[in-house]
Amino acid sequence: MSNEPTPVPHFIRNIVEEDLKSGKHQSIVTRFPPEPNGYLHVGHAKSICLNFGLALDYQGKCNLRFDDTNPEKESEEYAQSIQDDVRWLGFQWDGEVHWASDYFDALYAYAVDLIKQGKAYVCELTPDEMRAYRGTLTEPGKNSPYRDRSVEENLDLFIRMKNGEFADGSKVLRARIDMASPNINLRDPVIYRIKRAHHIRTGDKWCIYPMYDYTHCISDALEGITHSICTLEFEDHRPLYDWCLDQLPVPCHPQQIEFSRLELQYTITSKRKLLQLVMQNIVSGWDDPRMPTISGMRRRGYTPEGIREFARRIGVSKSDNTIDMSVLEGCIREDMETRVPRVMAVIKPLKVTITNFGEAQSREAGFHPNHPEFGARVVPFAPEIWIEADDFAETPPPGWQRLTVGGEVRLRYSYVVKCDEAVKDAAGNVVELKCSIDPDTLGKNPQGRKVKGVIHWLSCAHALPAEIRLYDRLFTVAQPDGDKARDFTDFLNPASLTVVQGWVESCVKDAAPETRYQFERLGYFCADRRDHQPGGKLVFNRSVTLKDSWAKEQG
């Protein structure tokens, strides 16, 4: 990624640079710590680019660590998809993949240490009772009746919890901090609970599992993380992060730094709600191209370079980070503008018969006007061609520069053509155009008149059928989960996917899955990574539409 744009300065970079300059750290170690309970989404992409990007820019290291402390919701499928996503985005973690479960023995030993210090106790309050005892934002909590158990009793009970003597949920281990703290996270938080659930890595070895807040800070310390970067909802958890590390003989004390999470308009980033879309078959899966998941964006045809540029452009701060979808689409469009070949395709075909075909010739055309190294192909001309139905109007609006009866346009890379007749079916629909070419206009302008319009087309004899999937935003409103009185599924866009049978140039016949093209005047498209078959069934997903500037180009 040596050609990446210059990083944008932000407050976390400033902290890192100051720490390196002062000698506080000789090098930095960051981490990306997802829970393997779903596929990663665009918000995770921002975090990946931040953590891995900092490590790259400052010659440090970045770990990939799975927070696998909630076994009921986790799976190998999710863990594998996360690794695939990180690599696809262009990053590689340092060494082996890390797992919170790697540290279960150490976490248990540290919990015993807290009990021996009198800083953790086994509590038997029910969840409802615990909530009642916790207090509110304005009222202090009350001490649990089990808070003053002896060290010996707590040790005995905790060992028996580990050994499976008690029912799920009947007991927890709590940190003994301060029930009157203004920060509710410090009101004796639970650090272990009993949960008999099969774990994807440790099987049935454990029936007690550590809580995230307790696990995360110790895992960071054991890995030598220097800067533990997380989103703002964890800001109130930082005192607990620091408290745990201050009580224990851990090798180092990482610095937790929070930044604002990414909220993208016209979509959702709640894993629970994304899972709901999948489970209810509202989308075809986690990698449905309408999903804001990294795998969905990949399948749609978004480029890793475009996503990295999006993360760079939106920046890192502590302020609200709600971004319009057009910013992401703009980054993808700009990236593909320079890197993908251009071909012609027709998605709403209207047949045109050339009545004076005669000795008409085909012409060679380059795959990109600014990249001759992309090569060229012959665009075959034939007596019958397809044009886009939208490029013809019987009664054209003011300023119309496409076909109408009696009007002329240039066929891209070919002749100027005049529409002489529109053929209709019994219902009055236009089903065919009879047109004539100006034989002196191949590669040059006509004499004595100016033809402004340029349209794309395909030879009927040479074009290949293709399934074209046109994607739009998944929701009809900018904040689909912003209305607390309505379910977010009420705002699903019924037109988020339109599947049409179109035609493409034969030169794309053997395109591999995930090959990207600009279909001229229609948008950027990508061969579907699952359903597209080179040399067989062709399936293209529209990644993003074009800016309306193509019409200014000349044929």
Give the catalytic positions in this structure. Answer: 35, 261, 271
Continuous segment of H or E residues that includes residue 66 = strand 61-66
What count of Cα atoms within 13 Å lies in the side-chain half-sphere of residue 382? 15
Cα separation, 216 vs 35, in Å, equals 11
Which one-letter amino acid corresponds to residue 117?
Answer: Q
Cα separation, 370 vs 233, in Å, equals 46
- As given in the structure block, the two tokens for residue 485 are 């009185």
SS (H, E, C) 25-46: CCCCEEEECCCCCCCCEHHHHH
Cα separation, 459 vs 446, in Å, equals 23
Q: Which residue in 232, 235, 256, 234 sits closest to 245, CA to CA?
A: 256
Using DSSP, state whether 78 is helix, strand or coil. helix
> What ranges in 180-227 are assigned the alpha helix state H?
212-222
Q: What is the DSSP track for 490-546? A: GGB-TTSEEEEEEEE-GGGTTPPTT-EEEETTTEEEEE-TTT--TTS--EEEEEEPP
- End-to-end, the C-alpha distance of the chain in Å comes to 36
Q: Which residue in 177, 92, 95, 179 sits closest to 130, CA to CA?
A: 179
Q: Which residue in 272, 236, 282, 275 sits closest to 256, CA to CA?
A: 236
Residue 133's φ and ψ, nearest 5 degrees, are: -75, -20
Strands 497-504 and 464-471: antiparallel
Among positive and negative, which fits the CA dihedral 231, 234, 238, 243? negative
Cα separation, 247 vs 112, in Å, equals 12
Q: How does 247-256 read in b/e, with b if 16+ C-beta sit within 10 Å?
A: bbebeebbbb
